Structure 1
Amino acid sequence: MKLRKVTAASAVVLALALSATACGGDKKDDTSGSSSSGGGGGTIKIGIKYDQPGLGLKKPDGTFAGFDVDVATYVAKQLGYDADKIEFVETKSADRENALARGDVKFIAATYSITDERKQKVDFAGPYLLAHQDLLIKTDSTIAKGTDLNGKKLCSVTGSTSAQNVQKTIAPDAKLKKVSSYSECIAALQNGAVDAVTTDDSILAGFASQDQYKGKFKLAGLKLSNENYGVGVKKGDSATVDKINKALEKMVSDGSWQKAVDANFGPANYKNEQAPKIGVIVPNAS
């Protein structure tokens, strides 16, 4: 009896050892999880915008769409996470740095322009898109250059640096209308309450690509600033930055990047820049 008990105990120990070995053999990327991203085992939390058509939009059925969503999904796949293992988290502009510092998300793809100030708080992979400040106007508009905005009604959101840039350096006599969201600006442009809307061309193209606006608006193509969109990562997490950069390079080389641009911005006739080189930031003209 004593011999059988020892044998049974040994069998249990052996089984546990084999189980531990099997778990240790999992080669899934560990860039997410309860210890690093706040997510459960085998999932990854990614910060995006919920209210930017063409970039990051939560649709009525609960699914997500947009260029940033496509980039995030591709990157996650390269890190070892299928689409059903992704939890998209709404990450508003004012809370992006805090969300990364708290570990609420593993990375952020949300029209996140790389700036020297932000690089003091977070690390960036990319850039993955070079956008520009521009104007959205009606298709029959005669506005062809920035100075044409003098005397015209211009819409942007409260606190927008884009609108300030126009008023200070481009068209000081433009009549600025400030609202709480770009959706309000687009509605005002449609009904003739304003003559133009200004912010990043990628954001404007996303709105113009919506079914209800197709053929009604166009981008002026003025390139009033350079906005280098990067993937935000928690400060000091260089390993994740390196992995995301490799994923972004592959997305460009296999054609997935251009396919995502065409699908999300194409209807607005968005003349995008070529995919930027990793680590190369295009500065604004001095």
Structure 2
Amino acid sequence: MRCRARVAWVAAGVVLAFAFARPVVAQSSSEGLSPTLAAIKLRHVVHLGYRESSPPFSFLDQAGRPIGYSLELCEAIVEEIGTEIDDPALRIDYVKVTSDDRIAAVLDGKVDLECGSTTANAERSRQVAFSPLMFVAGTKLMVAKSSAISVATDLKGKTVVVTKGTTNEAAMHQVDTKLALGLTIVTAPDHEQSYQMLVDGKVDAFATDDILLSGLIARHKSQDKFRVTGDYLSYEPYGIMFRKGEPQLAAVVERAFRRLGSNHDLIPLYNKWFVGRLPTGERLNVAISPQLEQAFHVLDDSPGANN
């Protein structure tokens, strides 16, 4: 009986030792990494959030694959993550997000990097972190070519659509209050549906960032039907979004941008998506702004850029 009891205790000890040993091994392989980087190392996959209709930043090609300027920047960050966690063979999982759920997707860990057309402002920075500047845009209006609307004051009593969850929605409410326009402001789930509401004549104007409006017009080859008009109604600096409170991850993101800057890759990458012909056939012909070009040069000249 004593022998059997001793065997039973030894067997139980082996089972318990094995049960506790497994998580210790997994944990030690990610020792010293921030939570996001540790999770990526364990699964060997980076989750990239993409948008379906934000050309040329993040959209689908004819085969339904996510492509765009922001996604190329995120892929450069993935390479830097691979170096940081010593895993050069990281896989990418593309996760669809919308303007309305993109912040929640980052906060909930659904995506590791959000690669779209997201404005980095003070309010959002209280919840999430952003990469260095990657683009500068601003709210403008898309209207029919035959429309008499040229500036915001021409919107008096009109109906304007904005995409839900965008900073453009707040901008239009501020303009409405400031100019006493009596606007009817409606929302659509994404830019494509906002555009379609204008096509269908359900609204008088579509308000969002000027570059996105130009991208949609080019994508739909509707230059003879619609135009972008008005002064800037907001300032929208774009960045890649990721989880806040992880200095190691923030350093990896910044290092990826500095490496692109030091290799003089940022302006050619910009020209590929904004000046040259897109893989889907359109051409935007939007030259780089002086502000963005200077921001890229600062990355090139920053300390450690050549490390």
Q: How many residues align?
A: 249
Which residue in 2 is equivalent to 1:35? 38
Preserved contact between residue 50 and residue 66 of structure 2 (Cα < 8 Å): no
Of the candidates 25, 48, 51, which is equivalent to residue 49 of structure 1?
A: 51
Which residue in 1 is equivalent to 2:295? 277
Task: After TM superposition, give the deviation of residue 197 of structure 1 in Å.
Answer: 0.7
Report the TM-score when normalising by structure 2. 0.66
- In the alignment, is residue 185 of structure 1 matched against residue 194 of structure 2? yes
Q: Does the residue aligned with 2:252 lie in a helix, a strand or coil? A: helix
Listed one character per residue, the Cα deviations across residues 30-72 of structure 1 (whole Å, up to 9, x for unaligned) are 999883238732x322122234343322456331123322332
Q: Distance in 1 between matches of 2:213 and 2:120?
A: 19
Change (3 A) 1:157 1:60: same
Preserved contact between residue 53 and residue 191 of structure 2 (Cα < 8 Å): no
Q: Does the residue aligned with 2:40 lie in a helix, a strand or coil? A: coil
Listed one character per residue, the Cα deviations across residues 228-279 of structure 1 (whole Å, up to 9, x for unaligned) are 111222222223323322333454532212322225697456566342627x
- In the alignment, is residue 164 of structure 1 matched against residue 180 of structure 2? no
Which residue in 2 is equivalent to 1:203? 212
- In the alignment, is residue 244 of structure 1 matched against residue 253 of structure 2? yes
Task: After TM superposition, give the deviation of residue 198 of structure 1 in Å.
Answer: 0.4
Q: Distance in 2 between matches of 1:132 and 1:101?
A: 26
Listed one character per residue, the Cα deviations across residues 76-130 of structure 1 (whole Å, up to 9, x for unaligned) are 3455599993221123344444433443332222222222232222222112111
Task: After TM superposition, give the deviation of residue 134 of structure 1 in Å.
Answer: 0.9
Q: Distance in 1 between matches of 2:53 and 2:153?
A: 30
Q: Distance in 2 between matches of 1:45 and 1:272?
A: 29
How do 1:114-133 and structure 2 match up within 5 A? 114-133=120-139
Question: Which shows bigger deviation, 224-233 or 250-259?
Answer: 250-259
Preserved contact between residue 201 and residue 219 of structure 1 (Cα < 8 Å): yes
Which residue in 1 is equivalent to 2:275? 262
Preserved contact between residue 217 and residue 268 of structure 1 (Cα < 8 Å): no
Preserved contact between residue 162 and residue 199 of structure 1 (Cα < 8 Å): no
Task: After TM superposition, give the deviation of residue 226 of structure 1 in Å.
Answer: 0.8
Q: Distance in 2 between matches of 1:162 and 1:75?
A: 31
Q: Distance in 1 between matches of 2:131 and 2:295?
A: 11
Change (3 A) 1:156 1:121: closer
Aligned AA (2:208):
T
Q: Distance in 2 between matches of 1:39 and 1:150?
A: 56
Structure 1: any 5+ residue segments left out of the alignment?
A: 1-29, 281-286
Aligned AA (1:184):
Q
Of the candidates 152, 169, 177, which is equivalent to residue 146 of structure 1?
A: 152
Change (3 A) 1:76 1:31: farther
Of the candidates 126, 135, 147, which is equivalent to residue 141 of structure 2?
A: 135
Aligned AA (1:198):
A
Of all paired residues, the percent bearing the same amino acid is 22
Change (3 A) 1:56 1:45: same
Preserved contact between residue 45 and residue 105 of structure 1 (Cα < 8 Å): yes
Q: CA RMSD in A?
A: 3.6
Which residue in 2 is equivalent to 1:64? 66
Report the TM-score when normalising by structure 1. 0.70
Change (3 A) 1:171 1:207: farther
Q: Distance in 1 between matches of 2:134 and 2:37?
A: 27
Preserved contact between residue 131 and residue 202 of structure 1 (Cα < 8 Å): yes
Structure 2: any 5+ residue segments left out of the alignment?
A: 1-32, 299-307
Of the candidates 113, 116, 122, which is equivalent to residue 110 of structure 1?
A: 116
Preserved contact between residue 32 and residue 39 of structure 1 (Cα < 8 Å): no
Task: After TM superposition, give the deviation of residue 175 of structure 1 in Å.
Answer: 4.2
Aligned AA (2:56):
G
